[in-house]
Amino acid sequence: MVYSASASVDHFPGASHQAKLTLEIVFGSRVLEFCHAGHSVFWEGDVASDAFMIGEGLLRLYRILPDGRRAITGFAFPGDVLGLAFHDRYLYTAEAVTDVRLRRFPRRRLHALATDCPYLHHDILRVIAGELEAAQEQMVLLGQKSAEERVASFLLMNARRVGKGQAVPISFDLPMTRLDMADYLGLTIETVCRAVTKLKQAGLVSMEGRHKVFLHNPAELSRFAGLDDFELAHPPWPKPALPPVETDPIETGEPGRGGFHQ
């Protein structure tokens, strides 16, 4: 069961201003919610009642295969919106890798608003198109690239999303575990570790501790991964800032299933 702390906020400015609604404005009207690391925002198969915009933190998106294996289909970063492309049920589980702050909005209400709001309609189409593009990129990643190319592509993807500045070496925190990387890249943990070691030996990357990553030559790493020239100044996904409002943590007696927890 999904527990919601969002206030029922359906009041927006008059019709002339409502026509200029965007996803950022709509989600900004909702209360900020909190989800602890290791707990789920929603589960695969649950009724898709809400869409979510991530304010802080990281979510892993995964499906469970019939034989029990976990397949990570992606990660959700600050500014990402989840839940717009579903029909009646969520197709994957969204689980917090780190502590996460987010906002939710009822999907039916959101699509009803978009009927009369061209800006909002365009925003929704943009998000859905981005999901399709990411799915195609992962198909190429899994179907055509070597283990080293997959790991290099994964590091570059994260640098574009969370890397700060363009000074070389580019540094960023990688909160995912090696198991997360393996389940996303279709590899074993041992293969991921060997691939990282090869990239280190080539002088392309280095690491500090378990999560700090340094890209020493992102352009060469991009060529190695079979990607276009690395460009951190223009990341492929926008990261809108959400206006701060009160945080509403949620408690439930059902840890780890379908809700946000303290």
How is the chain classified by DSSP, letter by letter? ------------S-HHHHTT--HHHHHHTSPEEEE-TT-EEE-TTSB--EEEEEEES-EEEEEE-TTS-EEEEEEE-TT-EESSS-SSB-SSEEEESS-EEEEEEEHHHHHHHHHT-HHHHHHHHHHHHHHHHHHHHHHHHHHH--HHHHHHHHHHHHHHHH--SSPSSEEEE--S-HHHHHHHHT--HHHHHHHHHHHHHTTSEEEETTTEEEES-HHHHHHHHT-SPP-TTS-SS--PPPPP--EE----SSTTSSS---
Do the domains 146-225 and 15-139+239-248 match in fold? no
pLDDT tens, 215-255? 998 889 988 888 765 554 444 433 434 444 444 433 333 33
Average pLDDT over residues 95-100: 96
Identify the CATH assignment for 146-225 out of 1.10.3300.10, 1.10.357.10, 3.40.1280.10, 1.10.10.10. 1.10.10.10
pLDDT tens, 6-19? 444 455 554 445 66
Homologous superfamily of the 15-139+239-248 domain (CATH):
Jelly Rolls (2.60.120.10)
pTM over 0.85: no
Asked if the model's pLDDT at residue 259 lies above 60, the reply is: no
Question: Where do the domains of the chain lie?
Answer: 15-139+239-248, 146-225
